[in-house]
Amino acid sequence: MKENAAGMKVLFVCVENAGRSQMAEAFARKKGLQASSAGTVPAEEVNPTVVQAMAEKGFDLKSNKPKMLTLEMIDDADLVITMGCAVDKVCPRPMLSKMQKKVIDWDLEEPKGKTIDEVRRIRDEIEKRIEEFMREHRTVS
């Protein structure tokens, strides 16, 4: 795995790709990571409460569309970060075996069905974890 986060390709995965993984991708891109996100069973749209919470931080996720996780996405990623959902229950075995080599699980609460205040708390936790990730993977020039 590469030590310098700036050159690292990170894939954020959850089941619907409608909340946590979308927020993580947005924060990671802002920090300069080559980030993408996907879901094993993508939703029709990004969670409207997530869109609202991210707008408060200056992110426009209104036009984002949940994407289906592919083997190519996993192959292309240096690191796969799952959001704490039951990806293993809906992910085909070949995908799981590929991810296991480079996966971290953040075990985050699901924002679906939550109030805006609860989604803000989840959003802020994701932002904090992205910042911690960047500090851990920073190289000294």
CA nearest neighbour of 50 among 139, 124, 136? 124
CA-wise closest residue to 80 among 26, 12, 130: 12
CATH number among 3.30.300.30, 3.40.50.2300, 1.10.760.10, 1.20.1090.10, domain 5-136 = 3.40.50.2300
pLDDT value at 118 more than 70:
yes
Residue pair 53/123 in contact by the 8 Å Cβ criterion: yes
pLDDT band with cut points at 50, 70 and 90 for residue 1: very low
Instruction: Classify the phi-psi angles of 13: left when phi > 0, otherwise alpha if psi is within -120 to 50, otherwise beta.
Output: beta
What residue ranges do the domains of the chain occupy? Answer: 5-136
Output the six-digit token pair for 35.
């980030």
Reported confidence tier of residue 75, pLDDT bands at 50, 70, 90 = confident
